[in-house]
Chain A
């Protein structure tokens, strides 16, 4: 594949897009695991939400 005389600009555009999307995905996954871990810790200590208590009662 020949990208011509402006190959650097094309590669930089694709690399920048990949970087931003990869950073977004990493942030979403890390945030999800962090929230799940905190929720698990709180539930282990017997703390429940008001809505959850109504269900349990």
Chain B
């Protein structure tokens, strides 16, 4: 099979001379020997598998509200053991610092006192929850589950694009992608010693157990979903079943005397840990949005009294906000006394006059994002936008510059991907999932997202991105 090469950015499979990198060599040879059309047939088979399993997501704002498949690409992305070890260390370091930061800003605020980050930046942030001040959480962990988005621009150059500390999703795709690859290509797993990721649900369960109120030996754990029409419902159901815990909706829970119970066929049963996939705002109509139908009245008070644990905690949004992102390297210095292993993308804050001026002059070269946006919605990718789009975006920025940040357009690395014209390079990122309980851990791997459109740098599934199986090789 003929594989198209990629000029101008780091290619995961080929070096600049077009020679196949060492870790991809067996794969490339295998691909080369495949009969014509075989890969396409396998790809169609994979799609059928995903559809039958009902691994779908809903796209918001689509008139039909239908369920879609996230396209699965059957060419794997491969990491060597050494590459991964460094990433793993960097990820643990970063998440440790982020949790320390959250514990600090909801307690003594040492980092503000030290003048490293301004009180305004933290306390006036819309995502800061003053209600959380002085609340002590088990293990002092706020984000038990963190999804850190990484991009690669060179052999040893990884940047953190964003930290997802609220309800990061996608881990079910990481697991299903692996299952599908093993079913379709058992021979590849005989060729490569790939580190397993299948124990993620067990690891998550351990983490949640460790997050329980300290006086509970055998906690009752549930997954809280907004319901079957949520875009990530498949994942909620998947994780609940893999962990062997109940999948509940707000209507299944109630609070009495600051304790949370679920309605069961045998009467009320107390719940100790809630892995919630519902945003802070909708968690409790008494504490937050009163119109929320998804939440549980009284839940927040029960949480503050320490009778139930939430994963992730309330008020983590302040730390994964794109304007707080800037300070993560400083947090690593401040709390851990270490040098950051993973770098931040250089970022302009449009709330600063100098930065704003520069960015407005260079819009066509930059990526501009909303500070509190996610999912790839409402961002501007300068180099691939039309003049009209750029002008329209300029007006949006001017109506509230502090709502935006800008970053250089990164040359995201590209990975061979099966597209209509054959196997061609497409840009990818990586979202590993970092779990924090008494200890901090992650499975070797993550979700590789791929921008299927040629030249596109937007990998979000809501914007036509796909996913790949991600392999970390054993040493």
* Binding between chains A and B: no
Q: Which residues of B contact A (CB under 8 A)?
A: none
